[in-house]
Structure 1
Amino acid sequence: MLKENVNDLIAFLVVAQERSFTRAAARLGVSQSALSHAMRSLEERMGIRLLTRTTRSVSPTAAGERLVERLGPHFSEIETELNLMREMRDVPAGNIRITAGDHAVDYLLWPALQPFLQAWPDIHVEVTVDNALTDIVTGRFDAGIRLGEQVAKDMIAVPVSPPMRMIVVGSPDYFSRHPVPQAPADLQQHKCINMRLPTLGGLYAWEFSQKGKAIRVRGEGQLTINPLRHRISAAKAGIGLIFVPEDTVAADIAAGTLIQVLDDWCEPFPGYYLYYPSRRQHTTAFSLFVDALRYRGN
């Protein structure tokens, strides 16, 4: 029973993670029809439905979710042990799966990744760009990158960036038509370009602080769009104000294409952390990766 199910169980975990037969088949290197047939065979052998299928998506049933929770960590441990065996080679090798938001990828992961891959040609890194608060254990990721306040307490967290600031900016054209806000509450009278948090489903509330006083503002506007580059482009086009990491618009502020406001309400906060489960045994390849990203100060 176990022998005939192992490959199908591995395939099931990939389908459950990808929520798509098309993406899962591509990742596994099999045809979509063969993968669908394997899942039906697994369900028939187990005598229970594991996946709910629609014309547009696939998702685990309650039984499927339980199987993911119970088996996922074990398969991850087996994969880690196999990678550890590969460590007996003279040259570090292995696979590393990382999840991070678009700003974290552009700001710190990509600059560090290029020299890392050149230095260690036998280490393979897969990066999933996702602004959701992804469960790295269920998703079988080796690690994730998040802001410090978003990291669960049971994770090991390694600082990978200096403190950061979120700032409010708009174009000269926008401010030629609207007054400059003097306090965060004034933003409710402005057009704000928003992003929706994939995990929580709601719009991201802009967070401000001044001398220990914190305030959250949810402004309204014509446009809600998640990719950072599109929000910046929309602000430069005069569509509204944006609340973004300072480094992403520093050049535009210097060039005068964007104007910063509410500066005294935008205080620094702890930056990004690489986080991973404390119980997991790590390969030399992963340790090298962590060391390459670790922030050591100025």
Structure 2
Amino acid sequence: MHKSNAMWSEYHTFLVAAQTLNFSRAAERLGQNTSSISRAVTRLEEHLGLRLFNRMPSMRLTDPGERLYSEIAPLFEGLQEVESAIKSDDGKIRGRIRVVGSPEVVHWFINPAIARMLEEQHEIHFEVEASTRVPNPIEEPVDVYFSHRRAEVINKSLVARPICSMPQGLFASPLLLAGRKPPRVPDDLLQWPCLGRQGEPEWELIDPQGHKHLMPVQAILLATPNDARMDLTLRGLGIAQFNLPSANEAVESGKKLVRILPGYTLQNMSLYAFLLSRRLIPQAVQIFLRYTTEEAKKYFPD
């Protein structure tokens, strides 16, 4: 057998090591010991005559390693998809999907998408974390991360897929406004306590003429997730920004909110799904993303 045809095990080991960037974690995933992983990678490097990893000071792929990964990852994942498909002829999608998203995104979009897939009797196992943290899909078993915080996701191994654009508004409780005239122009906000989101230094308001007003957020408190900020707003502690369906849902449930500066439009917030760019997206994840986007469009049509 030609030597290149006998290297499939080494290529697969390299693939897992490149995904984890840690030989110990790769060994755990493959059910081997760390020295076996190291030897397999070394054999592949000797076979190719190229260094695939820089081991120090921390493990990372070299340029040839990056190129090799991007070329072979879709091949191996495609094989897994084919293997799964040919083992079953019942039309069901099988797999595991691990998702991280804020509580409101889980409530509005993710859970309904999951319900649709389960109602269609696909054999998918879901792991859902309702959180505002920014995970690291390179080191964590996360398939999809939903967030509007694109500026904070700086990992080049991730690709952002737009899900929807969410219109925003400023709101306050009548408790805060009691005995005072509400803000009439953006500069008036400087005289009021505000409740901001983490990573949100300013609010961009657009007046009826289309002029933009960047207002620094005089935040007495930064709070996430959405429910925490809503609770503090209803207690009369400050003016806060919410997407319009969220505020409307609060009002419909009997909670009192007043729209602040209703003649001004806030910059829409974009929601993204972050995925590993190196991986071929499994069919189960593709369907889940499609259903999630369809659920989001019910709240936020273009």
Match of 1:195 in 2: 197
Superposed displacement of residue 106, structure 1: 2.4
Rg (Cα) greater in structure: 2
Stretch deviating more after TM superposition (275-284 or 244-253): 275-284
1:220 paired to 2:221: no
Contact 1:253 1:260 in 2 (8 A): no
Q: Deviations over 1:131-188 (max 9, x none)?
A: 4677767877544445599799x968465x5x53211111111112654111222212
Q: Which amino acid aligns with 2:260?
A: V
1:262 matched to 2:264: no
> Using a 3 Å threshold, how does the CA distance of structure 1 residues 73 and 293 change in structure 2: closer, same or farther?
same
Gap change, CA 1:285 and 1:4, over 3 Å in 2: closer
One-letter code aligned to 1:168? L
The Cα shift of 1:120 comes to 3.3
Distance 1:168 1:235 in 2: 11
Task: Specify whether residues 180 and 196 from structure 1 end up closer, same or farther in structure 2 by C-alpha distance, changes over 3 A only.
Answer: same
Q: Using structure 2 for the length normalisation, give the TM-score.
A: 0.64
Q: Does 1:176 align with 2:178?
A: yes
Name 1:115's counterpart in structure 2: 116
Change (3 A) 1:274 1:190: same
Relative to structure 1, the CA distance from residue 122 to residue 172 in structure 2 (aligned partners, 3 Å threshold; closer, same or farther) is same
Structure 2 CA distance for partners of 1:235 and 1:83, relative to 1, 3 Å:
same
* Structure 2 Cα separation of the partners of residues 6 and 278 of structure 1: 18
- Alignment partner of 2:96: what SS? strand
Residue 85 of structure 1 aligns with an amino acid whose one-letter code is: E
Unpaired stretches in structure 2, ≥5 consecutive residues: 1-6, 43-52
> Residue 71 and residue 218 in structure 1: after superposition, are their counterparts in 2 closer, same or farther (change >3 A)?
farther
Per-residue CA deviation, residues 34-83 of structure 1 (Å, 9 max, x unaligned), is 9xx959x969x98x99598xxxxxxxx3x347699678757854345313
Query: Identity of counterpart residues, as a percentage?
Result: 18
- CA distance in 1 between counterparts of 2:229 and 2:141 reads 31
CA separation in 2, counterparts of 1:189 and 1:2?
66
Whether the aligned pair in 2 keeps the contact of 1:5 and 1:42 (CA below 8 Å) is no
Distance 1:125 1:134, change over 3 A: same
Could you tell me which amino acid in structure 2 is paired with residue 195 of structure 1? R
Say whether the 8 Å CA contact 2:204–2:266 is kept in structure 1: no
The equivalent residue for 1:232 is 230
Q: TM-score, normalised by structure 1?
A: 0.65
**1:28, distance to aligned residue in structure 2 (A):** 6.4
Q: 1:277 and 1:293, CA in 2 relative to 1: closer, same or farther beyond 3 A?
A: same
- Tell me how far 1:29 sits from its aligned partner: 12
Query: Conserved in 1, the CA contact under 8 Å of 2:234 and 2:255?
Result: no
The DSSP-based 3-state class of the residue aligned with 2:178 is helix
Distance in 1 between residues matched to 2:192 and 2:276, nearest whole Å: 42
CA contact (8 A) 2:167 2:243 kept: yes
1:188–1:125 distance in 2 versus 1, CA, 3 Å: same
Query: Is there any run of 5+ residues in structure 1 with no aligned partner, and where?
Result: 53-60, 198-202
From the two aligned structures, give the one with the greater strand fraction. Answer: 2
SS of 2:80 mapped into structure 1: helix
- Structure 1 residues 7 and 106 mapped into 2: Cα distance closer, same or farther (>3 Å)? same
Equivalent residues of 1:72, 1:138 under 8 A apart: no
Cα displacement (A) at 1:209: 1.8
SS of 1:263 mapped into structure 2: coil
SS at match of 1:120: coil
- Aligned CA RMSD, in angstroms, stands at 4.8
Change in Cα spacing, 1:241 to 1:72, as seen in structure 2 (3 Å) is: farther
CA 1:49/1:274 → structure 2, altered by over 3 Å: closer, same or farther? closer
- Number of aligned residues: 267
